[in-house]
Amino acid sequence: MDEIDDLDARLRKSVLRLRAWRWMSRITENPNEVAALLSTEARFLIDLGREHPSRAKEIGRLIVAYHNMIVVMQRAGRGTGLPSRQDRCSRVNFVDGQQPR
């Protein structure tokens, strides 16, 4: 049971981290650094999904949200500009209002 509680806490932490970086993406001066930090968390989530296949769908959603945010930050780092705020938010919107089980 403790392992499930630890997993839930870790997934909640990932959700909160993504929300924080989504907000920080609006003010950052170094989007490539943000993309690198997000990539580290996404890799961790991939490993976590392999360890907990019963929660793979939920973890996979988080991975996709992280990937979308990484793409946005890489695009900003190349100077192609950030997409509109609505576009950025809609890509990771499933995270809002949903807590990991």
Which pLDDT does position 93 carry in this prediction?
Answer: 43
Number of domains in the chain: 1
Which pLDDT does position 85 carry in this prediction?
Answer: 53
- This prediction has a pTM of 0.72
pLDDT digits (tens, 9 = 90+) for 34-45: 899 999 999 999
- Is residue 5 included in any domain, yes or no? no
pLDDT digits (tens, 9 = 90+) for 43-65: 999 999 999 999 999 999 999 99
SS3 70: helix
- Is residue 101 included in any domain, yes or no? yes
**b or e along 32-59 (b: 16 or more beta carbons within 10 Å of the residue's beta carbon)?**
eebbeebeebbeebeebbeebeebeeeb
**Among candidates 37, 25, 32, which has minimal Cα distance to 91?**
25
What domain range is 65 assigned to? 30-101
- Is residue 12 included in any domain, yes or no? no
Which pLDDT does position 84 carry in this prediction?
Answer: 52
